[in-house]
Structure 1
Amino acid sequence: MTFSLGPRATSAGYRLAAFDQIGSTNAEAMALARDGVLGPMWFVTSEQTAGRGRRNRSWIAPRGNLAGSILEMIDVSPAVAATLGFAAGLALETALQRVSVEASLRSAGSDQLKFSLKWPNDVLAGKQKLAGILLEAEAVAGNRLAVVVGIGTNVVAAPEGTPTPATSLAALGVQIGAEELFAVLSDAWVEFRGIWDDGRGFDAIRKLWLQRAAGLGERVAIQTGGSPLEGTFETLDESGCMIVRTSDGRLVPVAAGDVYFGSAASVGAT
């Protein structure tokens, strides 16, 4: 089976570059954007050898996993572009729900899985990381912003020794190929990219994201480089910051950091 766009993505005019193997789909997409290639365009592979996650962490996709990046040219500020990552999370969660439903129908008696969105950019199955998202933006010729959203999903295998324990669709009993998942994801992207509407629809995206948020209303500890910030995950604000209510009642916006559910003692231990 080869990679192909879903029917909705094809009708919307998206293009596709598929690779048997590549270092990084994000790097390829941004390099072509600098050379004048316009989006919207997907770059996808089932084997990525030099991918990156947040904070330059290695993100390797062994053969059979899904690594894809979508290039969009958007006339918005970088701050607004950053909120597109939440639409990406919704698109991926929706695609995973759809393929898991299909898998459960194919396998009589299997349970439908539930997924959740962990701020700012992970998809969880239970308490385990199933997928991650990396958004990068760069000004290119014509004063336009090239936005590349990288999406990596553990389809057949999951890394070990990660800060948050990881899992794969195969380990969860979902027997599906990266190609099938990608086709569904490409259509879901069109849906939520449309709702986001160059940031004008972020309020709707925010509400949908909160309905799927992991740990909402629960204790969190956030590592931002200094001492952990502890409190309760209160909500998501209009710019995409996590709002944490501290023990003294303060509402603290957090723009970036590693989130751990539970107390500060759990930071770095899960």
Structure 2
Amino acid sequence: MEFSLGPRAIAAGYRLAAFDHIGSTNAEAISRARDGERGPIWFVTSEQTAGRGRRHRPWIAPRGNLASSILEVIDVSPAVAATLGFAAGLALEAALRKVSIEASLRSGGSDDMKFSLKWPNDVLAGRQKLAGILLEAEAVAPDQLAVVVGIGTNVVAAPEGTPTPATSLAALGVHIGAEELFAELTDAWAEFRGIWDDGRGFGEIRRLWLEHAAGLGETVAIQTGGSTVEGTFDTIDEAGCMIVRTSGGTRVPISAGDVYFGSAASIGAA
């Protein structure tokens, strides 16, 4: 089976560049943007050899996993572009939910698979990481920002020794191909990218994201720089920052950091 776009993505004008293997779909997308590519175009492979996640952590996709990046060149500020990551999380959650239901129907099993969104950019199955999202942006012309959203999903295998324990669709009993998931993802992206609408629809994206948020209302510890903030995960604000309510009642906005569920002691146990 080959990679292909879903019908909704095709109708919306998306294009596709598929690779048997590649170092990094994000790096390829950025390189193409520097060379004049304006998208919207997907880059996809089932074997990525030099990918990376947040904080330059390696993100290797062995054969059978899904590594994909979408490139769009848009006229928005970097701060607004950053909120596109939440639309990406919703798109991936919707695609995962659909393929898991379809796989369950084919096998005669019961569909009790639930996925959630971990701030700022992970998709979880239970409390295990199933997928990660990396957003990068670079100015390519006046008022033109090349935005690349990389989406890596553990389809057949998951890495070991990660800060958050990882899992794969195969380990969860969802036996599908990366190609099937990718087609659903491109259609879901077209839907939620449309809702986001260059940032004008982030209010609705925020509302939908919070419906799927992992740890909302629970104790969390966020490691940011050399400090740790602990409190209750209250919400995300209009800029996409996590709002944590400390024991003293102070609402602290977090713009970046690694989130751990439970108290600060959970960081050492991770």
TM-score with structure 1 length normalisation? Answer: 0.99
1:141 and 1:261 mapped to 2: Cα distance? 41
- Tell me the secondary structure at the aligned position of residue 48 of structure 1: coil
* Contact 1:163-1:269 within 8 A present in 2 as well: no
1:141 positional shift: 2.5
- Tell me the secondary structure at the aligned position of residue 135 of structure 2: strand
Aligned equivalent of 2:148: 148
1:230 and 1:112 mapped to 2: Cα distance? 32
1:91 and 1:14 mapped to 2: Cα distance? 15
Q: How does 1:82-101 map to 2 (within 5 A)?
A: 82-101=82-101
1:77 and 1:142 mapped to 2: Cα distance? 11
2:205 and 2:130 mapped to 1: Cα distance? 21
- Tell me the secondary structure at the aligned position of residue 70 of structure 2: strand
2:143 and 2:238 mapped to 1: Cα distance? 25
- Tell me the secondary structure at the aligned position of residue 166 of structure 1: coil
Aligned equivalent of 2:32: 32
Aligned equivalent of 1:213: 213
Count of residues paired in the alignment? 270
Aligned equivalent of 1:65: 65
- Tell me the secondary structure at the aligned position of residue 198 of structure 2: coil
Q: How does 1:108-257 map to 2 (within 5 A)?
A: 108-257=108-257
CA RMSD of aligned residues (A): 0.7
Q: Which moved more, 1:257-266 or 1:220-229?
A: 220-229
* Offset from partner CA, 1:25-51 (integer Å, 9 cap, x none): 000000000000111000000000000
Give the letter for the 1:149 counterpart. Answer: V
1:268 positional shift: 3.9
Q: Which moved more, 1:259-268 or 1:231-240?
A: 259-268
Give the letter for the 2:214 counterpart. Answer: A
* Contact 1:48-1:61 within 8 A present in 2 as well: yes
1:142 positional shift: 4.2
* Offset from partner CA, 1:37-93 (integer Å, 9 cap, x none): 111000000000000100000000000000000000110000000000000000000
1:225 positional shift: 1.8
Structure 1: 5+ residue runs without aligned partners?
A: none
Provide runs of 4+ in structure 1 moved above 3 Å: none
Aligned equivalent of 2:21: 21
- Tell me the secondary structure at the aligned position of residue 5 of structure 1: coil
* Contact 2:76-2:143 within 8 A present in 1 as well: no
* Offset from partner CA, 1:147-171 (integer Å, 9 cap, x none): 0000000000000011110000000
- Tell me the secondary structure at the aligned position of residue 50 of structure 1: coil
- Tell me the secondary structure at the aligned position of residue 195 of structure 1: helix
1:208 and 1:50 mapped to 2: Cα distance? 33
TM-score with structure 2 length normalisation? Answer: 0.99
2:26 and 2:155 mapped to 1: Cα distance? 19
* Contact 1:122-1:130 within 8 A present in 2 as well: yes
1:89 and 1:171 mapped to 2: Cα distance? 21
1:227 positional shift: 2.4
